[in-house]
Amino acid sequence: MRGVLVFTIIVLFVFPAMKADAEEIALDVETAVSLALQNNLGLQTDRIDLEIKERAKQTAWNEFLPSIDAGAGLTRSVVNQGGASSVSGSTPWSVSANIRTSLPLSLSGRYSIQDAKLSFDEEAISLEDAEKQLVRDVKKAFFNLLLLTEKIRLTEQNIATAQKRYDQAKTSYEYGLESELTLLGALVTLENLKPDLERIRVTSEIADMELKQMLGFDSDSGLTFTGSIEPNIRTFDVEDLIEEHLETRPDIAAIMKDIEALEIQKKITRLDVYTPLLSLSYSYVAGLNDPFQSGAATVRGTNTFGISLSYPIDGLIPGSSGNVDIKDMDDSIKKAQIELAEARQLAEIEIESTVLRLDNSSKASRALEQNVILAQKVYDLTEKEYSAGEGELLKVEDAFDDLQKAKLSVLEERYNYISGLFDLEYELNTELDI
């Protein structure tokens, strides 16, 4: 409900203003997720599939409705004798009308209704899983775009600093204070950064288009994405997570529903093979002799009611198709149960692996943040020495490069951590404090 409200506000107020002023609108991650859930084309098709399954579930009772058909006919009787045709009797024309209804009653009918409900439940689980995947992918794409934006900013800052260093080296070279080798080194450093910037910009443009596609918008839509990569570092107890969330995973729930559906199908097959079928039928036929002759037409009607009971004898024959179907169903259930056990094992490994990566990433982030502090001190001291005429420009450039690399490493590790949190959210089928 909250997502619908956010989306409505955006449609009514934000996008009209965007069209009127031709300005880009900044979205945070929560709004981006709400837009994706509302607009994503893949989810729209999944929701249509769910509506179809829901309609089938709500109308599954129609199996107990009788089949009804009605018809009418006009006939003319002609007798052929010796190559000559003549009408048969004094009333060659006749009109007939009929209505027929039949209702087969099987003990398996009630299980068919349960099967339709299970089919709906499976589709609902599939839709929920698709929504969770989309939320995870949008969040990861959103913060990846923020990371790329920050990379562009740092690279532009690197180029500006490298340009400044080159200008200083050129001035010093002109006054005979720097060698040509130092000047050329500063120029190489500057030129090497430019292709890196272009590469990151192209990557960012592609990521921007992909994210907008997830949200259901064209690539040229006036949207920008704002936020910061500052995850909430926390610790997790793997055993508690598995115990609390394992059975709520969509993949586990889907296999359990598959087993239920196979059990229902087995019951239906057994009832069809080993139990009798009761059929009820009724028909009424009305006839009118020669409606084209006045006074000659007579009406006649016939009512017919039937009840029959049939028993499938072939189910008693070993190796018959019915017996084989039941055995195949048993094997399918055993196979699904094995798949369920395997899925649980893989899920436990997946959750534990993600938590281990998160722990490693959090430790790496703390170490890298300390490295930034050290790199900043080294750069400040090197810059001070060079300004005092006691250091070399090359050392300043190296120190600056180390500082920028340290900052970028922190950003990348923060993204790795927050991306891992999104993976863990999906694997646990829950929301975490991110």
Domains of the chain in sequence order: 124-217+228-253+341-434 (1.20.1600.10)
Q: How many residues does the chain have?
A: 434
Of 265-274, 323-332, 349-358, 407-416, the poorest mean pLDDT is in 265-274
Q: Residue 135 forms beta bridges with which residues?
A: none
**pLDDT at site 92:** 63
Residue 347 identity (one-letter amino acid): A
Name the helix (H) or strand (E) containing 225: strand 223-225
pLDDT digit string (tens) for 178-196?
788 888 888 888 898 899 9
Mean pLDDT of 107-114: 78
Give the integer Cα–Cα distance in Å for 387 and 56: 80
pLDDT digit string (tens) for 82-105?
555 444 555 566 677 778 887 777
Own/partner contacts of 82-90, CB < 8 Å, gap of 24 or more, are: 90/290, 90/296
pTM for this model (two decimals): 0.77
Residue 314 identity (one-letter amino acid): D
Give the integer Cα–Cα distance in Å for 33 and 125: 20
| pLDDT, greater one: 420 or 81 | 420
Q: Phi and psi for 143 in degrees, rounded to 5?
A: -75, -25
| pLDDT, greater one: 236 or 9 | 236
In terms of DSSP bridges, do strands 277-289 and 93-105 run parallel, antiparallel, or are they unpaired?
A: antiparallel
Contacts of 72 (CB under 8 A, 6+ apart): 95, 96, 97, 98
Nearest C-alpha neighbor of 204 from the set 154, 133, 134: 154
CA dihedral 330, 333, 334, 338 (to 10 degrees): 170
Start-to-end C-alpha separation, the chain: 21
Beta-carbon-side half-sphere exposure of residue 143 (alpha carbons within 13 Å): 23
pLDDT digit string (tens) for 132-174?
999 999 999 999 999 999 999 988 888 888 888 888 888 888 8
The answer on pLDDT for 14 being more than 70 is no
pLDDT digit string (tens) for 197-214?
999 999 999 999 999 999
pLDDT digit string (tens) for 352-404?
999 999 999 999 999 999 999 999 999 999 888 877 777 777 788 788 888 98
How many Å is the maximal CA-CA distance in the chain? Answer: 134
In terms of DSSP bridges, do strands 299-310 and 25-27 run parallel, antiparallel, or are they unpaired?
A: unpaired
The answer on pLDDT for 19 being more than 60 is no
The three-state secondary structure class of 267 is helix
Nearest C-alpha neighbor of 262 from the set 172, 338, 211: 338
